[in-house]
């Protein structure tokens, strides 16, 4: 997996940098300085989207399954492990860095954008099956964490190759530039999720919007900046793939309200009266509109979809 390489003599060009070769200098429609800035801007946006996917999985798993410490530990540890595997796997795509990065971003946008809806659906409609499927939602959580981590990890070597093809520099400087843009983007994504996406759009719509941004930025970067490195067939495939991903995300966004209502009815029955999402949980008031008692349920404190009588007394630590 980790291949040994003999050190090259100082100042010698890399063997894959021959002009016109698959790893040679990129033929850009803009100046190298502008191209480098655009790539780093793409790194910034993609890093922000990647962290939103992570936080989205952690938050939704905590809402649905409870025990936020366990859910955060599972998601983050599996994702970081998968990022390392993805980086190793992407080394074989360096000769096709532009096409590979475009394909990775389109797939990541689809997986990350739809992960919240898929996890919610599985928990709502199959969470109380029991038997061999008792841990099904948790297995799906691990699967999405693994897939998202693999794709995020694959970005780094491909982006490094693209940056070096624009203007070759020493490895330390290129890594510093790449990681600076990556970490600042992660900061913006980490702050945007609780303060913008969650309160104004909600979990499901926020994830879908993040996936759309991811697909647009990744596709625009490859098709706009590195289109001369792609064959005609690759350009059309990438354009068609991104259009299909955006169509899926847009369709899901249109249906998200109906989906949430159906999922709540599947979890709490058909008498859902009020659903309120706070900073740490979603509170659902269910019961017939009669003089009889109602049931107050919280997905943050329930262990299964069938626990509709589970009431929580844990106060929000961020809101009165």
Strand pairing report for 282-286 and 295-298: antiparallel
Tokens of 46: 């993609």
pLDDT of 172 over the 70 cut:
yes
Exposed, middle or buried, 177 (CB in 10 Å: 0-12/13-18/19+)? middle
Q: Write the DSSP symbol of residue 134.
A: T
Tens digit of each residue's pLDDT (9 = 90 or more) over 109-144: 999 999 999 999 998 898 777 777 878 888 999 999
Mean pLDDT, residues 234-251 taken together: 97
The pLDDT mean for the chain works out to 82
The Cα 117–Cα 193 span in angstroms is 16
Nearest to 261 by CA among 209, 220, 202: 202
Place of tokens 């850009």: 28
Q: Would you place residue 286 in the very low, low, confident or very high pLDDT band (cuts 50, 70, 90)?
A: low
Residue 281 has pLDDT above 50, yes or no: yes
Q: Return the ∠ at Cα 73 (arms to 121 and 304), rounded to 5°.
A: 35
295 — pLDDT class (breaks 50, 70, 90): low
Rounded CA-CA distance 145/75 in Å is 6
Task: Please write the tens of the pLDDT for every residue from 64-106.
Answer: 888 889 999 999 999 999 999 999 999 888 889 999 999 999 9
Sorted by sequence, the CB contacts under 8 Å of residue 74 that are 6+ apart come out as: 61, 138, 141, 142, 145
Structure tokens of 201?
């759009």
d(CA 178, CA 216): 20
Instruction: Give me the domains of the chain, ranges plus CATH numbers.
Output: 32-255 (1.20.1250.20)
In 3D, which of 185, 38, 34, 42 has the Cα closest to residue 105? Answer: 42
Mean pLDDT of 293-306: 43
Measured CA angle at 90 (ends 88, 94), to 5 deg: 125
The interaxial angle of helices 32-65 and 171-192, nearest 10 deg, is 40
Q: Give residue-wise pLDDT tens across range 23-68.
A: 567 788 889 889 999 999 999 999 999 999 999 999 998 888 888 8
| pLDDT at residue 290, rounded to an integer | 57
Q: What is the pLDDT of residue 233?
A: 95
Q: What pLDDT was estimated at residue 308?
A: 36
């Amino acid at each position: 997996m980790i291949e040994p390489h003999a050190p090259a003599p100082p100042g010698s060009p890399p063997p894959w940098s021959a002009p016109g070769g698959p790893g040679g200098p990129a033929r850009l429609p803009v100046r190298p300085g502008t191209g480098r800035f655009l790539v780093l801007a793409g790194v910034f946006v993609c890093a922000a989207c990647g962290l939103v996917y992570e936080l989205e999985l952690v938050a939704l798993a905590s809402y649905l399954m409870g025990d936020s410490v366990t859910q955060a530990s599972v998601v983050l540890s599996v994702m970081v492990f998968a990022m390392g595997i993805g980086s190793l796997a992407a080394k074989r795509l360096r000769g096709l860095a532009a096409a590979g990065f475009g394909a990775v971003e389109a797939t990541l946008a689809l997986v990350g954008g739809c992960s919240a809806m898929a996890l919610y659906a599985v928990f709502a409609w199959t969470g109380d099956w029991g038997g061999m499927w008792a841990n099904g939602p948790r297995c799906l959580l691990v699967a999405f964490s693994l897939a998202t981590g693999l794709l995020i990890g694959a970005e780094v070597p491909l982006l490094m190759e693209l940056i070096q093809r624009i203007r070759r520099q020493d490895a330390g400087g290129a890594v510093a530039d790449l990681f600076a843009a990556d970490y600042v983007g992660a900061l913006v994504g980490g702050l945007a999720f609780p303060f913008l996406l969650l309160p104004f759009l909600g979990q499901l719509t926020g994830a879908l919007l993040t996936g759309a941004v991811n697909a647009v930025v990744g596709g625009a970067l490859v098709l706009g900046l590195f289109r001369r490195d792609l064959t005609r067939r690759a350009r059309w495939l990438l354009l068609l793939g991104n259009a299909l991903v955006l169509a899926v995300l847009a369709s899901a966004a249109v249906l998200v309200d109906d989906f949430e209502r159906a999922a709540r009815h599947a979890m709490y029955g058909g008498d859902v009266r009020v659903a309120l999402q706070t900073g740490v949980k979603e509170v659902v008031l269910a019961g017939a509109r009669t003089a009889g008692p109602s049931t107050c349920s919280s997905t943050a404190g329930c262990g299964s979809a069938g626990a509709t009588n589970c009431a929580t007394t844990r106060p929000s630590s961020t809101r009165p």
